[in-house]
Amino acid sequence: MLCSNPAKINSMEKDRTEHYLKIIDEVERVRTRNNVNWMDVLRLAFRYAPDEAKGLMKKINQEDDRISALFKQLSE
């Protein structure tokens, strides 16, 4: 059933937006902690297998470039 009360619709949209923003904030916190873990793995890789680590970093960078291109499409 559709709501015909504009104030209630506006309130529902605001609640939904707040819900999404809270989730995004939590993702940001988790990613921050996980980025530290990734950097630790990267240090280990370059310490013990630098040539292999370089190859992996090249592949990761290529995929990141593809992701950036997709994000660019979303923002146009």
The tens-digit pLDDT sequence of the chain (76 residues) is 556 677 777 888 888 999 999 999 999 999 999 999 999 999 999 999 999 999 999 999 999 999 999 989 988 8
Please, are residues 54 and 47 in contact by the beta-carbon 8 Å criterion? no
Question: Residue 36 has what pLDDT?
Answer: 93
Single pTM value for the model: 0.58
Question: Residue 2 has what pLDDT?
Answer: 59
Question: Residue 11 has what pLDDT?
Answer: 85
Question: Residue 62 has what pLDDT?
Answer: 95
How far lies 76's CA from each of 43, 63, 65, 66, 72, in Å?
36, 20, 17, 16, 6
CA–CA distance, 28 with 30 (Å, rounded to integer): 6
CA–CA distance, 63 with 60 (Å, rounded to integer): 5
Name the nearest CA neighbour of 17 among 6, 28, 9, 27. Answer: 9
